[in-house]
Structure 1
Amino acid sequence: MEEPSVLADHLLLSFLSSPQSYPHRPRRVELLQTHISYVAIAPPYVFKVKKPVNFGFVDFSTLEKRRYYSVREVELNRRFCPAVYLGVVPIYAEGSNLRFGAGQRVAEYAVQMRRLRRRYFLRQLLARGEVGEREIETIAQALARFYHAESPILNAVGALESFRRVTEENFRQTRSSVGVVLSRATYEALQYFTELFYALKGSQLDQRKRDGWVRDCHGDLHSEHIHLAPKGLCIYDCIEFNDEFRCIDVAYDFAFLAMDLHFLGYPSLAEIFLGRMIEELADPGCRGVLDFYCAQRAYIRGKVACFKANDTRVPEKERTEAVEIGRRYFALALQYALCGLTTTAVVVMGKVGTGKSTLAEALARETSLPYLSTDCLRKELLGLPPTYRPGEAQRQEFYREEAVEQVYQVLYERAESFLRKGQSVVLDGTFGKRSRREALRNRLKSLGKACVFIEVDTPDPLRVERVTVRSVTQSGASDAQPQDLAVLDSLYESPEELEPSQRVRVSGVGSSEEVVSRALLALIQKRLLQELS
């Protein structure tokens, strides 16, 4: 058979979209597509046809390969939900016409499934607030039973070696999206995180394989593939096209769902799920690799979004949406690299004019974390716009000790509201008094949350220049004037009391991109080295 041309692809889409194409004559057909498949929802069935693509990690470039992987998809998914996967049906061509059933030659193959009711997909249940500890426990118990039923894979290929191949391909395939879907700082930081993890903790991946935790899993375990109906749980659409992506550490498999829960805005449920999985599997050792696994899962989803954004067969609106989705996944991967699985307050502090606010804003932007600034809060509490410039008398009133203390108290309270929900946060303030740093640390300790202080250090001449420019252009929320620096510096208490694990010093010299990149690498190195000590 000739492989599909643009015209053949158009004919296939037209065929799949028409209710008249199907023997059961559905009233309507909804056609969806991923980067590798066309999915026709024709109630009460779903038909999935693989696209003739070759991305390296997936190769559907010939009809025979599409037939083989369609059959494989049915076989593998019947492990999870046998009643849903009905079989593989050929699509025949007669001239320029396509049809199910008999015909002159097979043009394509479709996987036929029973349609699952949309209201019971996990993502829909989450959106309606119908998922709690009970539902999470049901999923965790079913997954644990499945993993226990699978035999360990103990071939000679090391887990570290397999992971390296996958991550190297991920970075290679997303390089062209730098500057479009993710920034160079994020790209390089995640590369650094991955390589440093391999250097410091890579042996743990091989040890987990020797301990029997690498098994034939699902491989694509996110919320859209979990159906939790009153009649029972169905987990469908596992990876069939690449055994290396499916035969993995069970913790890497369930880390996908934890990441997805976090991505959808349910970090507390992600934490509960991970705790239940560790308990059900009796596998506390996986904690040492879970943050790495979650980061890689987020990166892969970002990569998939890049593929969709670059696929000219996808409608322009969906391609634009894919860019934004990809940015969010890469930002989440960066959160895992910086904070691990621990909810953390990232505090950017330093003397006036060091560039701490510029760095804090950039960190919040790169990670998509909430950003709280003392300068912005001060104006907000007074009902003023951030760029409002007070007169001298008003400025003295704004910066009375009592007024400043009130701003910090509001900062703590707002940060705490995010942290209680399992959301890390970026804080921007001078934090020049030891008492204020202690107050924040004590509050976080009582919540069981972590914090790290980034002290930005910049030469005095450059600080004066920056404050002067900011004063003249009236940019930013800070009200500091060049003549204030000497007094403010005399009041600044260096954070010598902070433990090395809680403090990073970063130079504020250079472009914003250079400074944020420097900070990202320092934070990643600090966290991974700290875990080994």
Structure 2
Amino acid sequence: MDDQSETVAFLRGLTGADGRPAEVVETHGALIFLCGDTALKLKRAVVYDYMDLSTLARRKALLDRELELNRPAAPKIYRDLVPVTRGPEGLRLGGEGAPVEWLLRMARFPAEDELAVIAARQGIGDGMAEALGQAVQRYHRAAPLRAAEGPKLIADILDELARVFAGMEAVLGPEAPARFDAEARATLDRVAPLLARRAAEGHVRRCHGDLHLGNLVLIDGLPTPFDALEFDEVLGTCDVLYDLAFLLMDLCHRDLRQAANITLASWLLQAGGTEDAGLEALPLFLAVRAAIRAMVLVQTDAARGSDEAGPEARRLLAEALAALRRAPPRLVAMGGRSGSGKTTLARLLAPGVGAMPGAVHMRSDTERKAGAEPVDYSPEGRARIYARMLERASCLLGAGQSVLLDATFLDEADRAAAERLAAAVRVPFHGLWLEAPPAILLARVASRRGDASDADAAVVEGQLSDGTEPEEWLRIDAGDGLEPALAAARAALG
């Protein structure tokens, strides 16, 4: 094994422009030296079951791959590779001598801009969650296609989990790992044809592979993935929905289920409906991601000679089992005039409806603006939007995912179409109608800033004079505060 002690001592002695010594961050496979506005990453000379960094050539190859994978998505972070060379005066960065080590040179970013830190400090707001879904969808669209056997990728992971969990019964107990293995394999058997189709249709790509909040950072105010999994092409190649599932699981584990729900809806919206049918596999993907996180926690704990991770690992495994429980899907339609608070209420309601991370919230205003050509407000345009929403809802319900439709539903024909859809796919239907005094509706639309809805006072006044109100939907007073309206909606859904 290569001796890196001299190189490490040299790098520890570096100083930034301000004269302050380098800070050092240690991981299982690397040392990162934070020096002024620069971060220098050194691969440690270590060997694990899944990663061999024992030689300089191997370390450089993985640094090259790390740069190649990450620079397209994060060009403002990833710069280049720089050698540590030996000259007449000892070690130096760069130079003409033979390299004794290679480093990945990156731009340093504030630790407080990492999404894991932001989540711990203040949670993930609705706007940030929407941007997160958009950023991940952009990443996946740019990811290279890979030929793979979709079911085999997950089957191999389940085999590895079973092998490793067998040695963790002292921490995890015997029952939960056995239940997880049985239920996950039964679910895989059920969705295997879907995974095979998705692989054939191009949903398997060279993804990030390690997409949790700790590997996302705000750059120019936008969530940016970094530190993609570079040491194993097999693990880095997966279904894009499985890649996203790590992030959704991480958000749910941090009790940020509303953010997970909005992130998923945003990711699906940007995909233009092409990913909706895949949600039949999402419970399995979430469960496997949670189980892997539990396994890694126990392994890391053991390597440190600690026993502190047991409770969290057991909680993760319990979350994996919860994800595998199939919640019967339902269709919720939330109607009302502009300004009645439909979207605000829907965002709070959706996470608790159906399977983790909740019902897919489809809003007519965002659906109207999605795609290359936004749809106008004409009667024909409105009809196209409702038809598109119902088409997507049919696909999602067929995949076992609950749906919450958020639109005015002022036309009786649109309400009837939603009810017919629920009957056709044999799922429960819930119609919720929000109402508020005209003065409140007008004040709310006047106060909107940066909202997807373009409705103004003229639109509201037109809605007050036209359209019909449903007699059979549950009426909810949305003019007397959010909490009473939310309580009434939750009570209606049980």
Regarding TM over 0.5, the answer is yes
User: CA separation in 1, counterparts of 2:256 and 2:122?
Assistant: 10
Is the Cα contact below 8 Å between 1:218 and 1:238 reproduced in 2?
yes
1:6-405, aligned counterparts within 5 Å? 8=3, 11=6, 13-16=8-11, 18=12, 20-21=13-14, 27-92=20-85, 99-102=92-95, 106-129=99-122, 131-153=124-146, 155=147, 157-180=148-171, 182-281=172-271, 282=273, 283-311=275-303, 314=304, 319-338=306-325
User: CA separation in 1, counterparts of 2:91 and 2:313?
Assistant: 36
Q: CA deviation at 1:339?
A: 5.9
Q: CA deviation at 1:421?
A: 11
User: CA separation in 2, counterparts of 1:34 and 1:9?
Assistant: 15
User: CA separation in 2, counterparts of 1:187 and 1:206?
Assistant: 26
Change in CA separation of 1:35 and 1:177 when aligned onto 2, cut-off 3 Å: farther
Is the Cα contact below 8 Å between 1:59 and 1:65 reproduced in 2?
yes
User: CA separation in 1, counterparts of 2:220 and 2:97?
Assistant: 44
Equivalent residues, number = 337
Change in CA separation of 1:230 and 1:73 when aligned onto 2, cut-off 3 Å: closer
User: CA separation in 1, counterparts of 2:165 and 2:96?
Assistant: 42
Structure number, greater radius of gyration: 1
Change in CA separation of 1:151 and 1:229 when aligned onto 2, cut-off 3 Å: closer
Change in CA separation of 1:337 and 1:13 when aligned onto 2, cut-off 3 Å: farther
Match of 1:480 in 2: none
Q: CA deviation at 1:249?
A: 0.9
**Deviation digits for residues 252-295 of structure 1 (CA, Å, limit 9, x no counterpart):** 11111101101112122112212222222122112111111111
Secondary structure class of the residue paired with 1:265: coil
User: CA separation in 1, counterparts of 2:295 and 2:188?
Assistant: 21
Q: CA deviation at 1:244?
A: 1.7
Q: CA deviation at 1:342?
A: 8.9
Is the Cα contact below 8 Å between 1:21 and 1:100 reproduced in 2?
no
Q: CA deviation at 1:221?
A: 0.8
Is the Cα contact below 8 Å between 2:25 and 2:33 reproduced in 1?
yes
User: CA separation in 1, counterparts of 2:208 and 2:194?
Assistant: 22
Q: CA deviation at 1:21?
A: 3.2
- Opposite residue 133 of structure 1, the aligned amino acid is D
Q: CA deviation at 1:209?
A: 0.8
Structure 2 residues without counterparts, runs of 5 or longer? 331-348, 357-401, 404-494
Change in CA separation of 1:146 and 1:423 when aligned onto 2, cut-off 3 Å: closer
Is the Cα contact below 8 Å between 2:150 and 2:199 reproduced in 1?
yes
Secondary structure class of the residue paired with 1:248: strand
Q: CA deviation at 1:92?
A: 4.1
Change in CA separation of 1:141 and 1:420 when aligned onto 2, cut-off 3 Å: closer
Secondary structure class of the residue paired with 2:50: coil
Q: CA deviation at 1:24?
A: 5.4
1:411-426, aligned counterparts within 5 Å? none
**Deviation digits for residues 132-163 of structure 1 (CA, Å, limit 9, x no counterpart):** 2211111211222232234533x3x4111222
Change in CA separation of 1:328 and 1:422 when aligned onto 2, cut-off 3 Å: farther
Q: CA deviation at 1:104?
A: 6.3
| Segment of structure 1 superposing worse, 287-296 or 103-112 | 103-112
Secondary structure class of the residue paired with 1:179: helix
User: CA separation in 1, counterparts of 2:299 and 2:6?
Assistant: 23
Change in CA separation of 1:338 and 1:130 when aligned onto 2, cut-off 3 Å: closer
Secondary structure class of the residue paired with 2:102: strand
Secondary structure class of the residue paired with 2:167: helix
**Deviation digits for residues 153-190 of structure 1 (CA, Å, limit 9, x no counterpart):** 3x3x411122222332233234322212x221121112
Secondary structure class of the residue paired with 2:122: coil
Secondary structure class of the residue paired with 2:34: strand
Q: CA deviation at 1:231?
A: 4.3
**Normalised TM-score (structure 2):** 0.61
User: CA separation in 1, counterparts of 2:316 and 2:40?
Assistant: 28
**RMSD in angstroms over aligned alpha carbons?**
3.4
- Opposite residue 279 of structure 2, the aligned amino acid is R
Q: CA deviation at 1:65?
A: 1.2
Is the Cα contact below 8 Å between 1:35 and 1:307 reproduced in 2?
no
Structure 1 residues without counterparts, runs of 5 or longer? 344-416, 425-447, 450-533
Q: CA deviation at 1:229?
A: 4.4
- Opposite residue 264 of structure 1, the aligned amino acid is R
Is the Cα contact below 8 Å between 1:40 and 1:48 reproduced in 2?
yes
User: CA separation in 1, counterparts of 2:321 and 2:7?
Assistant: 40
